[in-house]
Structure 1
């Protein structure tokens, strides 16, 4: 399963934003910033990564449904495979 082109652009934007936020968290720790501020920014990084993962998952689920409906080339993912992929993000 590949990530759809439209979803890929959104995912890359989220990951780049998270990369910048993570660099900021590292700088904050190195500068000895207050732990409350560090944790707040770290939570933002975590949410950005989660959203990127869910976007990939949603794209994959759409592809699986379309492939199944169209009798696509690749066999659709099983319910267990989709569940496992989803729970990986939980």
Structure 2
């Protein structure tokens, strides 16, 4: 779009749409991770795996607002 000399507001609008789509995708992947990987770690009773999954989630959540 930049190479085509498109109107700046159109470019910003497209960037915003891409960001929103990526946020939705991120949310879906995170939900899938929690409902499969984290749930499996909890059900397994493996304390080390449970701690690891919690640390991973906290790191991802901590990065989400940046």
Q: TM-score, normalised by structure 1?
A: 0.55
What runs of 5+ residues in structure 1 fail to find an aligned partner? Answer: 1-27
Instruction: From the CA coordinates, give the structure whose radius of gyration is larger.
Output: 2
Are residue 88 (structure 1) and residue 35 (structure 2) matched? no
TM-score, normalised to structure 2, is 0.71
| More relative contact order, 1 or 2 (CA 8 Å, 6+ apart) | 1
How many residues align? The count is 61
How large is the RMSD of aligned CA atoms in angstroms?
Answer: 2.2
Q: Deviations over 1:1-24 (max 9, x none)?
A: xxxxxxxxxxxxxxxxxxxxxxxx
Structure 2 unaligned regions, length at least 5: none
Structure 1 residue runs of 4 or more that deviate by more than 6 Å after TM superposition: none
